[in-house]
Structure 1
C-alpha cells in the first residue's frame, strides 16, 4: 500500500528537498524511521541551529530547504530563527509534528496549539484537513517558500504518515513559474526620473545579491557613473564593494543619513528597504530637494516605502532595461575615500578587532563567503573586508543573535567549493554554540573566527550613551574554545598578533579544501572609540 509518507517523499524529491535539517521528537519518528537512502538527515542539537543551517543552505541554493521540528517545544524554540529566515528572505519548508489526530480533541500529551505559535513570520501555515492532503500541503509550502521568500509551515499529525495515499498524481502544481521581464512603462518612468537628475546615487540592497543582480546593477551604475551605497544593516552585499563606484555603507541614523545623501538630487534604492534606520531620530530622511525612488521584488517593501515612485519588478531585468534607456554620464562622481587598515599593534599594545579583520582581509580568497555576527566590530569589518563576489557577505537581517554559526555550516554544506568564514563575537557565539557539534560530526570545513572580549561590548556602549551604568557583568570565565572542543570541534586560542598571523598563514591553503571545522578564539580588547 502506498502511504502518505511515500507520497510526501515523492513531493520532497520533486522540489529538490532531499536533505532534512532536524531536531526531531516522538511526533516525528513515524516519518523518519527507515529513511530512504536517497534522503539525507542532518541533526543539530537545538532548533535555532536547525533553522540557521537550513537558512544558509537555502540562501546558497536559492531553493527551499526542508526543516523538521518537534511540535510545540521545537517550533517554539525555533521562532526567533524563523523570524531571521523570513527577513533574510530564505525559502524554507518547515514540517512540524502534531499529536495523533484521532484524539486531538482531548488535547493529549504533546498536543500543541501550533498554527499561531510563530506569529506572522511564516509566509504560509497549513494544517491539512485530512492525512491525504499532506503531500499537497508540502508542495504548496514549497511554492510559497520560493515565491514569497520565507518559511512555510506544514503541521502534520503523527498518524498521518501511515495512512493510505490518495491516487492524485499531482497533489499541487508540479511547476510554478513567475514572470522575469520588466514592465516597459515602469522602466520609462524611472529612466525619466534619472534623466533629469543632476547628481544621482544608487543604494544597493540584499535582494540584488545574485550574479545577475550584480551584473545588471554594475551596468546601470557605470552608465550613470554615479556612487553606489550599500543599505544600512544589509544582510547581503548588493554590489561589488571593490568597484570604483562603491561609496560605502549608509549610516543608520537620520542626521548622518541626511548629511551623507545631501549631495544627491535623486536616490534610487534597488533591492533594499528605503533607507532603513535603527534608533529613532526626529526629522526627514533626506534634505528637501532629494527625490527618492525604489525598485524591489517584494510588494510589502514597496508598500511601506516613503518614496515618490516604487516599482515592483524582477531586479536584474529592470536594471538591465533601465541601463539601456538612461543616457551615459561623463561627470566624475565624488567617492568617499576608503578606510585604510590599521598598522599592526606595537609590542605591548592590545590586539583589537580591526587588527584581526585587516589580517583576514589580506588572506581571504575572493570567493569567500563571510558570515558576520559581531555587532561592535561590524563597521570595521565593512570597511576592511569588501564583498568581491555574490554571496560574499551574509548577516542576520533581523538583527537577532545566534545566526552566524549554524548559517555558516549550512552554507558550507551547500557550497563545499567556496571558503566559508564566520566572524562572530564571543557573546554572539554562545547563542548557538551547540551548532559546532553539527559542523564537527558532518565534517563541515568552515572556519569560525571568534572575537573574544568577554563582554557584550555594544551593549556597554549603548548604556554609556544613555548616561547610565550597565547592570550586566562581563563573562570572563567563558572559554569559547573549550566549549567548542567539548562539542568535538577543534579550537585554538590566540592572544598575540604574531600567533594570529601564523595561524592565518597556515589556513590560507586550506580554506577551500578543508573537511574539518576550526574555531579561532582571538582575545581582543574592545575599541574605546566605537560608537553604535
Structure 2
C-alpha cells in the first residue's frame, strides 16, 4: 500500500487501514491536518470527534476492551496528551491495546520550545504505555506505527504511544506499509509442566481450597476452563478484590460463585490453598493493617505477566502463562477420583455470601436509598446488557447487587480516573453494537466527562447513562470521616458539597434525552423511555447526600 508522493498523514491512515482500524477517536488541532485531509478519500473510515481528550482515550479503551483489537486515540500536542493521561492509566491497568497517536509541532519549533512544545513529550506518556517513540523521519512512519500496534497486542498487552510531528506528517513518504499479518503476535505462553503438577498436587490434597478469578481470565477467554476446574474440584470461586476489579472473571450466576475476594471474609480466612488466576495481587488503597493473604494458606498465582507474580506477597507456586492454557493444563493434571466431595464447602461459602447483604445504607426519610437504586437497576440488567460502572461511593453496592457474567456484562476501572465511563461506554457500544449499554455513574464522576454526551448525540450512539446524584463528593467526606478530626467533630466536610447541578438539564443541553427521578420505583418506567429513544439517553436519580459509603 504505497502512494508515490503521498503525505506522511496519508501513510498513517494507510497503516491504520492495514491493521483493520476503521475509526479513530480524536480531539484534533493544527498538527493533525495532513491526517484529517487524507481521511476524505476514505468515506468508510470514521473520524469520531470528541470535545475533550479524556473522552477520546476512554472511548478507545472501551472499544479495545470489548473487541480485543487495537483502538486509536489521536491527541494534539502535550496539552492534549496531558488531558488524556488519567484514562490512559485505566487502559494500562486493563491491559487494553490502545494506540495513542500524538500530533506534535514541527521539529524546529520543538527545538525552540515553541507554542505547545515541551522537551520530549513522550516522557509524559511513559509511565502509562508499553512503548513510547517519536518518529524521526517521514519514511519511517509506517514502520513506527506497525511496531506500536504489534507491541500493543503482545502479551502483556497494553497501550503504546507514537509522536508524529507536523513537518513529518506534511512530508513525502514512499515507504510501503508493512504487512500486519507478518507482525501480528499469535504466541501464547505455555505453563511449566512441573509447576502445573505442583499446583495440581496442592489442590488435590487441600481440605478447603479457593479459586479467585481475575480480569485476565475473561480477557484471555479462560472463563470456561475456570468453571470446569471449579466444578471438577467442587470448590467456591470469588472474583478478585474490589480494588483491582476491572471485569468479572467468573459468572455471578454460577452456583459456585461466592462474591468478591476479601481477606477478612471467613471463607477466605479458612482456605488452606488459594489459586489466584489472572489477578493483580494486590492494589493497596491505604496503608494495610494486615496481610491480604490468610496466614498459613498455600498460594498459587497464575498470570501472563511475570511481573505480577510475587509483586507484594510471596507465592508457593507461580505460573507465568496464558491463563487459558494454564487452567486447561491444571484441569488435565488433577488426579482421578472424586475431588468434588467437598461440595459442602461450596454450599457453606454460598450461604455466607447470600447471608451478607453487603453495604446497607441507612434509611433516611425523604431521600432515596442507593441500595434500593442498585436493586432496581439489577432488574433492568438482562443477558444482553453491558453495564459500565463509574460510581465511587456506590461502587461496592453495585458490585454486590448487579449481575456480572463474563465476557461482556460488566466493565469498570480501578484506576481512580473519574469520568472514564462517559467515553468508555461509547467505545463499548461501538465495539459491540448488538448489546444494550448502560453506564452507571456518580454525579461527581459525571462532572469529569460530560463532553461524552455531545459525542453520543452527534453520532447517535444509543447508550443510556444512569447518574446516581447524591449532590456530593462523598468519597472526600468519607476520607475526612476516617481521619477523625475537626470535620467529624463539627459535622462539616469541606470539599463535599456538589449541589446545584441539574444533570438531566445538562444532558438536554447537549442534545440527549434527559430525565430526573427521585425514587427507585420510577426507574423501570424511566428505562423504558430511555430505550424508546433512537439515540442516547440520561436518567438522573436523586439519592441521600449524607450517605458517605460503606
Moved more, 67-76 or 204-213: 204-213
2:428 aligned partner: 411
1:503 aligned to 2:526?
Answer: yes
C-alpha distance in structure 2 between counterparts of 1:180 and 1:283, whole Å: 34
Indicate how the Cα distance of structure 1 residues 194 and 431 shifts in structure 2: closer, same or farther if over 3 A, else same: same
List gaps (5 residues or longer) in structure 1.
Answer: none
| Correspondence for 1:393 among 388, 410, 435 | 410
Distance (whole Å) between structure 2 residues aligned to residue 281 and residue 83 of structure 1: 23
8 Å CA contact 2:259, 2:353 repeated in 1: no
The answer on whether the counterparts of 2:142 and 2:178 sit within 8 Å (CA) in structure 1 is: no
Match for 1:123 among 113, 119, 130?
130
Instruction: Say whether 1:221 aligns with 2:238.
Output: no
CA distance in 2, matches of 1:347, 1:396: 30
Contact 2:129 2:158 in 1 (8 A): yes
1:77 and 2:77 matched: no
What is the CA distance between 1:171 and its match in structure 2? 7.7
SS in 1 for 2:301: strand
Q: Give the corresponding residue for 2:482.
A: 465
1:517 to 536, 540, 544: 536
For 1:363 and 1:300, the matched residues in 2 are separated by: 39
Q: Does the residue aligned with 1:519 lie in a helix, a strand or coil?
A: strand
1:322-358 Cα shifts (integer Å, max 9, x gaps): 1122243212212223256999x99965311111111
Q: More displaced, 227-236 or 329-338?
A: 329-338
What is the aligned counterpart of 2:74 among 57, 64, 68? 68
Query: Who is 2:291 aligned against?
Result: 284
Give the stretch that moved more between structures: 51-60 or 113-122: 113-122
Alignment of 1:279-428 (within 5 A): 279-302=286-309, 304-306=311-313, 307-327=315-335, 328-332=339-343, 333=345, 334-335=348-349, 336-338=352-354, 350-428=367-445
* Alpha-carbon distance in 1 for matches of 2:411, 2:248: 8
The answer to which of 3-12 and 46-55 deviates more is: 3-12
Identify the residue that residue 490 of structure 1 maps to in structure 2.
Answer: 513
Q: In the TM superposition, what whole-angstrom CA distance separates every residue of 1:34-58 from its partner, at most 9, and x where no partner exists?
A: 4122311001111111101111011
Distance 1:29 1:453 in 2: 43
**2:107 — aligned with what?**
101
SS at structure 1 position matched to 2:393: helix
> Please, what is the CA RMSD of the aligned residues?
2.5
TM score, norm. by length of structure 1: 0.92
Confirm or deny: 8 A CA contact 1:30 1:159 kept in the other structure: no
Q: Is contact 2:110–2:118 with CA below 8 Å preserved after alignment?
A: no
Q: Judging changes above 3 Å, is the alpha-carbon distance between structure 1 residues 193 and 78 closer, same or farther for their aligned structure 2 residues?
A: same
Q: Does the 8 Å CA contact 2:376/2:520 hold for their aligned counterparts?
A: no
Report how many aligned residue pairs link the two structures: 523
Q: Which secondary structure does the structure 2 equivalent of 1:337 belong to?
A: helix
CA contact (8 A) 1:273 1:305 kept: no
Kindly indicate whether the alpha-carbon contact (under 8 Å) linking 1:86 and 1:150 is maintained by their aligned counterparts in 2. yes
Mapped partners of 1:452, 1:313: distance in 2: 43
Aligned twin of 2:490: none
In the alignment, what sits opposite 1:245? 256
Deviations 1:272-316 (A, max 9, x none): 112443222233333432112200112221251522221111111
In the alignment, what sits opposite 1:31?
35
1:448 to 465, 481, 484: 465
Q: Does structure 1 conserve the Cα–Cα contact (< 8 Å) formed by 2:300 and 2:317?
A: yes
Of 25, 43, 49 in structure 1, the residue corresponding to residue 49 of structure 2 is: 43
Higher alpha-carbon deviation: 394-403 or 439-448: 394-403
Cα displacement string for residues 40-83 of structure 1 (whole angstroms, at most 9, x for unaligned residues): 10011111111011110110110110110000110111111111
The CA distance in 1 between the partners of 2:190 and 2:285, in whole Å, is 34
Q: Which of the residues 220, 236, 239 maps onto 1:230?
A: 239
- SS of the residue 1:95 aligns to: strand
Distance 1:281 1:260, change over 3 A: farther
Cα offset, 1:161, TM superposition: 2.3
- Between 1:77-86 and 1:112-121, the stretch displaced more is 112-121
2:152 paired with 1:141: no
In 2, the alpha carbon distance for the partners of 1:390 and 1:134 equals: 35
TM-score by length of 2: 0.89
List per-residue Cα deviations over 1:436-462 (Å, max 9, x = no partner): 110111111111110011001222122
- CA distance in 2 between counterparts of 1:497 and 1:282 reads 37
User: Which runs of 5 or more residues in structure 2 are unaligned?
Assistant: 488-492
Distance 1:393 1:169, change over 3 A: closer
The alignment partner of 1:108 has SS state of coil
Secondary structure at the aligned position of 2:340 is classed as coil
Rounded Cα–Cα distance in structure 2 between residues aligned with 1:76 and 1:156: 16
Q: Secondary structure at the match of 2:290?
A: coil
Q: Which moved more, 1:48-57 or 1:394-403?
A: 394-403
Cα distance change of structure 1 residues 460 and 102 upon mapping to structure 2, 3 Å threshold: closer
Check conservation: 2:211, 2:230, Cα contact below 8 A: yes
Is the CA contact 2:302–2:321 (under 8 Å) kept in the aligned structure 1? yes
Equivalent residues of 1:367, 1:388 under 8 A apart = no
Structure 1 stretch displaced more, 123-132 or 303-312: 303-312
Distance change in 2, residues 1:243/1:277 (3 Å) = farther
Give yes or no for contact 1:352–1:527 (8 Å, CA) kept in 2: no
What is the Cα deviation at residue 359 of structure 1? 1.2
Picking from 126, 137, 158, the partner of 1:150 is: 158
Q: Distance in 1 between matches of 2:254 and 2:225?
A: 14
Give the 3 Å change call, closer, same or farther, for CA 250–276 of structure 1 in structure 2.
Answer: farther
Structure 1: how far apart are the matches of 2:282 and 2:90? 20
Structure 2 Cα separation of the partners of residues 107 and 242 of structure 1: 57
Question: Which of 88, 98, 118 is residue 92 of structure 1 equivalent to?
Answer: 98
Q: Which of these residues, 147, 159, 172, is aligned with residue 164 of structure 1?
A: 172
Return 4-13 or 363-372, whichever deviates more.
4-13
Report the Cα distance in structure 1 between the residues aligned to 2:364 and 2:99, rounded to whole angstroms. Answer: 53
Equivalent residue for 2:14, pick from 7, 10, 15: 10
